[in-house]
């Protein structure tokens, strides 16, 4: 017969496993995206003024943003938010897809105007995520705010690339 403590330990292990998957999956997709499309002919090949972000800083913040969004989505999932409000999952998936699409559009194809549109759409999806996540779990909504700041910086960098 299982004791109450054993049941709680099993539940905690499942929680840690699901948290690891929720953070690792978008992080792995982002790493793969950076590996494939990171600096072929876009930002890394353009001669830029010194005030532009170095490529490693862009990639690091891209990874940090992806991890924060994974953690935030897990917090919403743990509260049952994806089941109660299916639009929350749609917003999260849209944000993830748009963030993964930005790298190849800007760095592989060199389409900075399209990249700017994708970046603005990603910002809109993040605003929606922030509002919806906050209704389910206030901490999850707050974790999206650094990602919003990152999307703003990314839009500014992308806009500067348009005019180079």
Say if CB 43 and CB 55 are below 8 A apart: yes
The pLDDT value recorded for residue 142 is: 95
Q: What whole-number distance in Å separates Cα of residue 90 and Cα of residue 120?
A: 17
The string of pLDDT tens digits covering residues 5-14 is 666 666 657 7
The pLDDT value recorded for residue 48 is: 52
Rounded mean pLDDT for each run of 10 residues along the chain, 164 residues in total: 64 77 93 79 51 79 94 92 89 95 87 93 96 94 94 89 81
What is the number of domains present in the chain? 1
The pLDDT value recorded for residue 2 is: 63
Say if CB 127 and CB 66 are below 8 A apart: no
Query: Which structural domain, as residue segments, surrounds residue 59?
Result: 4-162
From residue 111, give the alpha-carbon distance in Å to each of 23, 61, 139, 161. Answer: 29, 21, 36, 10
The string of pLDDT tens digits covering residues 31-64 is 999 888 765 554 555 555 556 678 888 889 999 9
Consecutive H or E run containing 159: helix 138-162
């Amino acid at each position: 017969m299982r004791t109450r403590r054993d049941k709680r330990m099993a539940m905690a292990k499942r929680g840690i496993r699901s948290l690891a998957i929720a953070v690792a999956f978008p992080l792995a997709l982002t790493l793969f995206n950076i590996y494939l499309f990171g600096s072929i002919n876009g930002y890394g090949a353009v001669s830029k003024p010194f005030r532009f972000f170095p490529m490693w800083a862009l990639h690091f913040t891209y990874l940090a943003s992806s991890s924060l969004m994974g953690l935030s989505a897990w917090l919403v999932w743990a509260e049952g938010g994806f089941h109660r409000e299916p639009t929350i999952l749609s917003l999260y998936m849209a944000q993830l897809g748009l963030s993964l699409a930005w790298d190849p559009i800007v760095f592989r194809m060199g389409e900075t105007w399209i990249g700017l549109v994708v970046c603005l759409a990603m910002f809109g999806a993040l605003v929606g995520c922030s509002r919806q996540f906050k209704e389910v779990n206030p901490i999850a909504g707050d974790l999206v705010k650094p990602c919003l700041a990152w999307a703003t910086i990314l839009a500014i960098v992308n806009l500067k690339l348009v005019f180079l």
